[in-house]
Amino acid sequence: MARAAAPVHGTRVAVVGAGSWGTTFAKILADGGADVVLWARRPELAREIQEGKRNSDYLPGVNLPMGLRATSRLDLALAGAEHVFLSVPSQSLRENLLAAGPHLHAQATIVSLMKGVEKSTGLRMSEVISEVLRIEQEQVAVISGPNLALEIAKEQPTAAVVSSTSLETAQAVASISRNRYFRSFVNTDVIGTEFGGVLKNLIAVAIGIVDGVGYGENTKASIITRGLVEMTDFAVAYGAHPETLSGLAGLGDLIATSQSPLSRNNTAGRLLGQGYHLADVVNQMNQTTEGLASVGPILELARAKGVEMPIVEQVRQVLAGTLAPRDIAPHLTTDDEPQGERTMDGQAQGGSALRRAVKRTLDQLRNGGRGAGGDRP
Ligand SMILES: NC(=O)C1=CN([C@@H]2O[C@H](COP(=O)(O)OP(=O)(O)OC[C@H]3O[C@@H](n4cnc5c(N)ncnc54)[C@H](OP(=O)(O)O)[C@@H]3O)[C@@H](O)[C@H]2O)C=CC1
Ligand SMILES: O=C(CO)COP(=O)(O)O
């Protein structure tokens, strides 16, 4: 089948991090007509991408666009870039921003492709970006959604959400982050979009664990459903719009990650469920598994807002070796949860989260129904 040529807009962009997602996103942008330079920290990988249009470590068998350039020189990658997309492991973001800072164009939009929180601070990636670079949140965007890299690198059709507190920024980033196989929606709910990506990883680990144990579809569906409630309660407690969590960055990503053997979080969970120790699992995973680092900070943040996360708590216990994988279950709850809320299904979990959700919905109605969350074209 003949393919339409990508619209050539030639916007100069840089992608920092040449792992599976950074390389795939560089391909998305280049196939959409952007002038892309990808930064790889290893010179030999940069050379393979630049000269061979391949990244055999992370995307075996995938041909990269002829126009995609790569370098291991951060200064060269960033020179003149109007948009800078960041795709390194979340725990290394701060050090990478410190290295990148002096080479960034002052007006450049900084876009996080990452799905973790910083362990030492509990900050979301967009918060780390604006803190380290001392830029306003309006200059920052995040992208999240059901985006398993290898499927997209093979050009299987997919959608994502671009989120920024500035709708204009989100739309500008979305306009270059789309092509014939990748569609970007927008919203202004950065908190919901970012936490959606972080939290689904934790539920995907839980699904992997019960899969590894050998439990079937009922257990997994129960964990997905109850997990979505935990994700929503948590994100709403931090100011997210609940509808964002039922969109691409929440439910969409949860389904993709929980079901796919391509997911590293799901795979790590499965190995734990099969009885491997955490240290062996970490050794075996030679790719970024954000969920393992996020469990601790997310539970701390949940405690600070009084949000109950029984599934995530059980994941923590399995990781710590204090709960046998076969005992992880969607119906268990934490001890101090009041009886009335314990058995309630649906989004309304904790009383305080419910009150906040109702207030937000009323506020939105007063604003003429123009919510900031959800996925908008
Ligand atoms: N893969 C996916 O399907 C998706 C991933 N994401 C998110 O994207 C982010 C990146 O993940 P992904 O690309 O998959 O990870 P990978 O494990 O595939 O690649 C990680 C990349 O980061 C580099 N890296 C590792 N440590 C450092 C460091 N300290 N400083 C600089 N670079 C470093 C690696 O370089 P080297 O090769 O030299 O080790 C590699 O290029 C994560 O937050 C993930 O959650 C989001 C959506 C989809
Ligand atoms: O975020 C992802 C898909 O949307 C990738 O998930 P993993 O990090 O678990 O591979």
Q: Which of 16, 24, 87 to mutate to test the pocket of ligand 1 (most atoms within 8 A of CB)?
A: 87
For residue 76, the CA-to-ligand 1 centroid distance in Å is: 20
Mean pLDDT of all residues belonging to the chain: 90
**Domain closes at, from 147, 171, 188:** 188
Q: How confident is the model at residue 359 (pLDDT cuts 50, 70, 90)?
A: low
Name residues whose C-beta falls within 8 Å of residue 23's C-beta, 6 or more positions apart in sequence. Answer: 15, 38, 49, 55, 58, 59, 64, 149, 153
Nearest ligand by distance to the CA of 25: 1
Residue 200 designated active-site: yes
**Domain closes at, from 157, 188, 219:** 188
370 versus 126: the higher-pLDDT residue is 126
Q: How confident is the model at residue 226 (pLDDT cuts 50, 70, 90)?
A: very high
Terminal Cα distance for the chain, rounded: 27
Q: What percent of the chain has pLDDT over 90?
A: 84
- Taking only the tens place, the pLDDT of each residue in 155-167 is 999 999 999 999 9
Q: How confident is the model at residue 7 (pLDDT cuts 50, 70, 90)?
A: very low
Question: Residue 312: inside a domain, yes or no?
Answer: yes
Domain with 307 in it: what CATH number?
Answer: 1.10.1040.10
For residue 287, the CA-to-ligand 1 centroid distance in Å is: 7
- Is 145 marked as a binding-site residue? yes
What is the pLDDT, as a whole number, of residue 348? 44
Q: Are residues 140 and 230 in the same domain?
A: no
Q: How confident is the model at residue 37 (pLDDT cuts 50, 70, 90)?
A: very high
Question: Residue 377: inside a domain, yes or no?
Answer: no
Q: How many domains does the chain have?
A: 2
Domain with 145 in it: what CATH number?
Answer: 3.40.50.720
- Taking only the tens place, the pLDDT of each residue in 258-282 is 989 999 999 999 999 999 999 999 9
Catalytic residue among 27, 119, 154, 200: 200
Q: How confident is the model at residue 371 (pLDDT cuts 50, 70, 90)?
A: very low
- Taking only the tens place, the pLDDT of each residue in 53-98 is 999 999 999 999 999 999 999 999 999 999 999 999 999 999 999 9
This prediction has a pTM of 0.91
Domain ranges, residue 246: 192-366
- Taking only the tens place, the pLDDT of each residue in 295-351 is 999 999 999 999 999 999 999 999 999 999 999 987 655 554 444 444 555 544 444
State if residue 115 touches ligand 2 by the CB under 6 angstroms criterion. Answer: yes
For residue 360, the CA-to-ligand 1 centroid distance in Å is: 35
Instruction: Return the amino acid letter for 157.
Output: P
Q: Are residues 183 and 320 in the same domain?
A: no
Question: Residue 204: inside a domain, yes or no?
Answer: yes
**ipTM confidence:** 0.99
